[in-house]
Chains A and B, each alone.
Chain A
């Protein structure tokens, strides 16, 4: 605001160096370090001052992240923060009031407050706009009733981004409003939902007469679908600040096995391995090209493809890993109904890899829906005729 000179890469690096000199990453408490980084505007540089940024070009963020890493302050795997960092933060930035930004962004960034996403419902998944959780105005607040499902992290979350129906008489996209929900409010009940891995990463969330202050609304009443678009746009493969090396992804699970266990090799699996290696490299280079486009300030539409490719590659790698292992693949670590213990994916048993990656083509928008999005938004192909767009939500068949 006071400094009109735009920040360039050299100046950004200098700021990072200055910051790290003042806050030694080896001796500063990690949360305090992140808090200070937020206050210095180096959390997400394109956010405004006071909201963790400097109002600088977004393209500088990879430079900043790389410089932090170079100076020994690489972000540790911030497990549990994906929804807050990836979805809640950009939405709060785009639609939040200054007071909302001030309240939520800093603890979200430092990891002191975990977020979850209360979007999907039993009757509304791909067709999210069909959701039926009701929010009814009551003076300065809203009263919510309904059920959400597949909610990852709900059991650890302090806050949720939530969409609910505020006007059932309007067509479905128009009667939705967007809220920030306190997961500690009375009437919020979180029940673990066990998935096919045996664990419960996600939950069912029952909302019974939950009261949310109107000051917790993001965007205007009835504008929730538009706000949710911002959230969903950001729900895609995050782009790293640095180039990933060859075999940097899940493909390493099978290349390592192939190199170290010659007795497992067969001609057919060799062909499968080489095809997957090629596909994994193609996906890696595409992601790298996307990163370069962002760095050069010319973002391309390839982002929507990344999740589609990685879902397929992850699943095929995990399938090949079991095929290679044969009898050794017949065992599993633990079927007990429990919360995930935070063990990194690569360190889990191959059976877990196989099962967990099945979710990759469902979570965050199914592969079928992503293909439709690419066809319509990137290729400009016409939408299918629809009967649900102009009908009042309450009259839709279900």
Chain B
């Protein structure tokens, strides 16, 4: 896969490499991840499809933006976003967002030997990772304070495991983080924590933490509370570099998530249109009634716009900087609402069947709504826009 820069005047389109990636991911998912299989799996105690994740990793999907020297695909967040679109379209229960997007972009931003070691393991699919922040964390949230770092070798009470790169720990973590996505199946945790020297980003072997699964609104994306009781940890970034790496990861995550949401919205629109062409009431296809048609036309317009906005955010994320943060906020503010609307319209326009457990629409409704809350609500992102686009809120005069 090539990481040739896309010309700026074509950066909202998909190039041939991206279309090729889309086709292979889509065909694997069609084969291995039909909605009926997803529905069956999410009620078991192994909702995440680890075997599917290994197959996706074999295609390069676990390490798209990871450099080739670390065993990654050497691509960019644009290709990552294309994979996200397809995974969203299939509501695939794999740790893509937590591992291949959030943890990966945090480690890439941090850099260094320890981060490289972990990235190589993630890209190969040997293990997956999670970024230990609540999934609802918005990019401009202050650095998390719930986990403390203490230097020095782990005490006898802590886990005997070595830290993620197999070397001696430099210290330990103590504290708790709720609502972490993709943590239960992760082998590695990337943990923001604060110590005497300020913020840091640490690597922890996941089984040296305690992970308590919670019942999540989105059945296809499991959440867990993660507790550290003196877990052995190794720093990958400290001080402002740690805060920057976390911010970069959350901005990249918000940008790529928009493409996942686009995939969800496209599924909802297409499925609904197809259904209404064949569902007859009053002697005609329901899709011939204007009240229904106009709603679908408006939805199609919104989904077309979501595509442009999501592509724009992915391209901006490749370049980084303040524009990337603004474009990611724009994408979240727009696409979150669009995906939720698409899923809600899908439920309504399917009638009774759309309200049943045995129909896939609820999987998409739950994913759409959970995605809208993930990495900051649309309103939260509008506040970010207010700050970054210089549209300040009203002030009360004293």
Contacts and interface: CB of A to CB of B under 8 A. Distances in A.
Interface in A354-375: 368, 370-372, 374-375
A381 B13 contact: no
Nearest to A263: B397
Interface string A302-340: 100100110000000000000000000000000000000
A232 interface: no
Contact of B294 (A267, A281, A375): A375
Contacts of A288: 12, 308
B311 interface: yes
Contacts of A368: 294
B288 A382 contact: yes
5 contacts: A286-B308, A371-B298, A374-B300, A379-B293, A379-B297
B334 A381 contact: no
Nearest to A378: B300
A371 B291 CA distance: 10
A255 interface: yes
A265 B300 CA distance: 34
B393 A381 contact: no
Contacts of B334: 278-279, 281-282
A384 B290 contact: yes
Contact of A302 (B287, B293, B304): B304
B382 A381 contact: no
A378 B389 CA distance: 35
**What interface size band does chain A fall in?**
35 or more
Interface of A: 243, 255, 258-259, 262, 265-267, 269-271, 273-275, 277-279, 281-283, 285-286, 288-289, 292-293, 295-296, 298, 302, 305, 308-309, 368, 370-372, 374-376, 378-385
Given A258-B391, A381-B288, A270 B386 contact: yes
B394 interface: yes
Contacts of A243: 9
Contacts of A381: 273, 276-277, 285, 287-288, 293, 296
A277 B383 CA distance: 12
A270 B393 contact: yes
B287 A267 contact: no
A65 B277 CA distance: 43
B395 interface: yes
B306 interface: yes
A330 to B, nearest CB: 22
Contacts of B289: 384
Chain A binding site: helix, strand, loop or mixed by DSSP? helix
Given A259-B390, A289-B13, A376-B293, A282 B306 contact: yes
- Which 7 pairs across A and B sit closest by C-beta, in order of nearness? A375-B293, A265-B394, A371-B297, A374-B297, A285-B308, A289-B12, A382-B288
Interface in B256-304: 273, 276-277, 284-285, 287-290, 293-294, 296-298, 300-301, 304
Chain B binding site: helix, strand, loop or mixed by DSSP? helix
Contacts of B277: 380-382
Given A270-B391, A379-B297, A296 B10 contact: yes
B38 to A, nearest CB: 26
B393 A265 contact: yes
Contacts of B383: 274
A278 B391 CA distance: 12
B330 interface: yes
A382 B287 contact: yes
Contacts of A262: 392, 395
Contacts of A309: 301, 305
Interface string B371-398: 0000000000011011001111111000
A279 B305 CA distance: 9
Contacts of B284: 382, 385
A385 B288 CA distance: 8
A33 B13 CA distance: 36
A384 B391 contact: no
Contacts of B285: 381-382
A243 B8 CA distance: 10
A5 to B, nearest CB: 24
Contacts of A267: 393-394
Contact of B382 (A271, A302, A385): A271
A293 B386 CA distance: 31
Given A269-B394, A381-B273, A382-B277, 9 more contacts: A265-B394, A274-B382, A281-B330, A289-B13, A295-B10, A302-B304, A309-B301, A374-B300, A379-B296
